[in-house]
Structure 1
C-alpha cells in the first residue's frame, strides 16, 4: 500500500505515517528537500530520530527533529516549527506517527500566514482530511491562530 503523503501546498506536505528506513529514499525521489519529524523521543517509532537524521543525510535531505506531544505543546514550540518551515529548503515533508500533529502544526502556520481565524483553519484542515480529534490540540490551534 502506498503510504499517504498529503500535499498542503507547493512547499509543504504531511506524511500521514511513521516513516521506515526506505521512506527517506522515497521522500528524496518525490523531490522533497527537507524532513521535519514531530515525534517525541519517548514515542515508539519505526526509525529513531538519530537514524532518521542519518537516512535524511544519505539522501541529501535537510532534517529537523522537533518533538511535539499533547502536553508539551507551547507557543514557542510552534514558533520554532514555523521558523524552520520558513528557513528550510522547500519542498518540505512533515511527519509524526499518523499525521495529526503534523497536520495541526502545518495548518497553524498556514492559518497565521493567511490571516485566517482559528475556526477557518480547523474547517480547512478537515476539508483536507486532517482530523483534529484531540480537544486540547484543537483549542490550542484556535487560540494560537487567533493570536498570531
Structure 2
C-alpha cells in the first residue's frame, strides 16, 4: 500500500482492497472514504467489499464517488461534510490518490492558505498549485 499523509488527520492512497484493511487498522485509521466510482477500471474491488471488511474491523466507511475530472459543487460539498463528520485519522482512496488530494484541497481552501495547501500536497507527492490558482481566481 502507498499511504501518503496530507495532514496529521488525513491521508490518501491509491485503490485499496479488503485485504488491506488489517494494515489500515494497524496504522491507526478510524475511517475510510472512497472517492472512486465502482467499475471505473476492470478488476477494481467494489466499495461494498472494502466497506464490509472495514466495518468488521470497526472502521467507519463512506463513499463519495467522484468521476475523474468532474468535481461538481454537490460532490465537493458531500466530500467536505464527510471530511468534517467522520472519525480521524481518515484514509481516503481513489485510483491514484490525486482525486482525494484535490477534494481535500477544495474543502480546505479558505481555512488554510493556498501556500499551505500546495505545500501539504507537495510533501505527499501531489501538485495542487494549478488547482489553488483556479480557486484564487474564484
Shorter-chain TM-score category?
0.7 to 0.9
| Alignment counterpart, residue 26 of structure 1, candidates 23, 28, 32 | 23
Distance, in Å, in 1 between the alignment partners of 2:95 and 2:84 is 23
Q: Which has the higher contact order (CA 8 A, sep 6+)?
A: 2
The gaps in structure 2 that reach 5 residues or longer are none
User: Structure 1 residues 6, 42: CA separation in 2 closer, same or farther (over 3 Å shift)?
Assistant: same
The gaps in structure 1 that reach 5 residues or longer are 133-137
Distance, in Å, in 2 between the alignment partners of 1:65 and 1:58 is 17
Pairwise CA RMSD: 2.3
Q: How many residues align?
A: 136
**1:1-148 superposed matches below 5 A:** 3-15=1-13, 17-44=14-41, 45-114=43-112, 116-117=113-114, 120=115, 123-124=118-119, 125-131=121-127, 138-139=130-131, 142-144=133-135, 147=138
Distance, in Å, in 1 between the alignment partners of 2:73 and 2:91 is 21
TM-score, scaled to structure 2 = 0.84
Distance, in Å, in 2 between the alignment partners of 1:56 and 1:91 is 14
